[in-house]
Amino acid sequence: ALVVTLGYAFIFLPNVEAVTATVFISGFLLGKKRGSIVGLLGEFIYASLNPYGASMPPLLAAQVASMGLTGLLGGSVGSRYKEKITLSAVLLLRFALWGILLTLIYDVATCAGFFAFAGFSARQMLASLAVGLPFYAVHLGSNAIIFASVVPVLLKKALDRKLLREREYR
């Protein structure tokens, strides 16, 4: 539900979104399998019920697969930080790079899905990509910032609370 809600919350800002970060956090905290499920279902619901219109099947498949992968990779990263997160410049840079990588995968996959649906020639694809560069830059940059500033802080708080609860029940 949070994936869909945050998708709608930022819909008025082109290419600024919190869906990728939310799915990554879900994978980090819930594990690879559950994170993938959150990504697959959350993106399917959001993309199917988008106020701007539902995605065409090839684009929908790319969106859903990309978010499933985001949850899976969030789970993989989370398995390395089971106990605690120490906020450091190196960690923030790593998370920014995860945000850039996952956003790049999403953007490439969704462009491929759109181009497959539209039947673009190679020349038309290149022209479309060139026109879209500012939008891709905003998407990559905003997710790098979100992943470097918001994601580690939320994960640190979640892990600290988990450890505190575990100590209380001992």
Position 8 confidence tier, pLDDT thresholds 50, 70, 90: confident
Tell me, what's the pLDDT at 81? 80
Q: Does residue 144 contact residue 96 with C-beta atoms inside 8 Å?
A: yes
To 5 degrees, how large is the angle CA 147–CA 10–CA 28? 35
Q: What is the DSSP string of 31-97?
A: -HHHHHHHHHHHHHHHHHS-TT-PPPHHHHHHHHHHHHHHHHHHHHHHTT-SS-----HHHHHHHHH
Rounded mean pLDDT, 66-91: 91
pLDDT at 7 (0 to 100): 83
pLDDT category, 43, cuts 50, 70, 90?
very high
Is a pLDDT exceeding 60 seen at residue 111? yes
Let me know: does 23 contact 67? Beta carbons within 8 Å. yes
Predicted model pTM: 0.90
In angstroms, the CA 9 to CA 146 distance is 15
DSSP 8-class letter at 11:
T
User: Tokens in use for 89?
Assistant: 């410049």
Q: For 50-65, what is each residue's pLDDT tens digit?
A: 888 888 899 999 999 9
Would you call 38 exposed, middle or buried from its count of C-beta atoms within 10 A (0-12, 13-18, 19+)? buried
For residue 123, pLDDT over 60 is answered with yes
- Say how far apart CA 109 and CA 115 lie, in whole Å: 10
Indicate the fold that domain 2-168 takes in CATH: Arp2/3 complex 21 kDa subunit ARPC3 (1.10.1760)
Using one digit for the tens of pLDDT, what is the confidence trace for 134-163? Answer: 999 999 999 999 999 999 999 999 888 876
Sign, Cα dihedral of 104, 5, 30, 147: positive
